Amino acid sequence: MKTLALAMAVLAAWPSVPLAQTGAPRYQVDPSWPKPLPDRWVLSGLGGVCVDAQDHVLVLNRQDVLEGDLNAGRLAPSIIELDAAGNLVNSWGDPALLDPRLHSCFFDNDNAVWIASSPSGMVQRYSHDGSRLLFQIGKKGVFDSSDGTARGKALNSDAARFFMPSSIFVDPQNGDVYVSDGESANGNRRIAVMDKTGAFLRQWQPDGMVTVHCMTIGKDGLVYVCNREGSRIQVYDKKGAFLKNIDVPWKSYTAPRDGTPKESGGSAVALAFSPDAGQRWMYVINQNNSQVEIIERQTGRIVSSFGRVGHSPGEFDQPHGIAVDSKGNVYVAENRGKRVQKFVIASQ
């Protein structure tokens, strides 16, 4: 019994490591960010967030606001751009072009923005200010399924069409477009790669994934893929060869009646890297525990975390999107919480 008690104590403490031993940054919320939005704007669920070359923050507003909420204001636009101080810079979004269930965004080397919506059957590239749709892969409302609809059987076709795209990354070396196509358990489960003209190149289906919820590529040239329900990040080379897992364990703080912890969104929902040349830190949204895990990228060791469940500043209600700016500030978009928060590095 003593051995069991000791093991449980170690498990409860793991994977926390004293910050002095890791050099990991400590974070605190900036409660003054963002500034109040104009014209009594009402936010709905926020699908994602990304940061451009000027450290401006793009927020994806899903347009799924409750009708009664609009008694107090008006629905905010789909795409909202904020500067580092939290001021509104720009907003845009043509519902005839965009799909309302926005999921993620990515700025390429030309500072144009890519948008993934799920379900939509497409990914899009817009000019930075959103005034022009520059490029599109796939067709809005036409799915890679047996009947072309979201109700059909997923096909995972060797083709440049999608079912439920969740994330985008554009390779700065050759312009290849990587798309994780697998936001829902009913859709595709793959990473699809197209060249810069949109022509299909290759795909792979990551093992053991119910959904393929997020994906990005590090400066090491490796592809990091979120296994949302499997509680891990799976790492591949650009051809799809599996290299390793980075575990993102979680625990239920309230013991379930049947003894089996229940998923409430997953522990590997979205990820971003620190801005240093070696990308030492990886920031992963653990939705099950409503916190952000700080992981040492090379070792896969969780060294710290920040956030907790709640609605006060610094707390989360279904965090869903994450981004990091050039100074190491972390931005988290909440779907159910309907807000975006900024976390700054605390003075040591």
pLDDT digits (tens, 9 = 90+) for 224-247: 999 999 999 999 999 999 999 999
Residue 23 reports pLDDT greater than 70: yes
Task: Determine, yes or no, domain membership for 133.
Answer: yes
Task: Determine, yes or no, domain membership for 17.
Answer: no
- pLDDT bracket for residue 21 (50, 70, 90): low
Task: Determine, yes or no, domain membership for 293.
Answer: yes
Task: Determine, yes or no, domain membership for 314.
Answer: yes
pLDDT average, residue stretch 157-178: 97
pLDDT digits (tens, 9 = 90+) for 280-294: 999 999 999 999 999
Q: Which residue has the tokens 């290849």?
A: 176
Residue 64's CB is within 10 A of a number of other CB atoms, namely 14
Q: Name which of 253, 304, 264 is nearest 287 in CA terms.
A: 264
**CA dihedral sign of residues 243, 273, 106, 149:** positive
- Rounded distance, CA 125 to CA 157, Å? 22
Task: Determine, yes or no, domain membership for 16.
Answer: no
% of residues, the chain, pLDDT over 90: 87
- Rounded distance, CA 321 to CA 183, Å? 13
Give the count of domains, the chain: 1
The pLDDT, as a whole number, for residue 5 is 38
Domain of 85?
29-345
Task: Determine, yes or no, domain membership for 7.
Answer: no
Task: Determine, yes or no, domain membership for 98.
Answer: yes
pTM > 0.85: yes or no: yes
CA angle 54, 115, 164 (to 5 degrees): 150
- Domain of 304, CATH number, reads 2.120.10.30
Residue 70's CB is within 10 A of a number of other CB atoms, namely 12
Task: Determine, yes or no, domain membership for 339.
Answer: yes
Mean pLDDT of the chain: 93
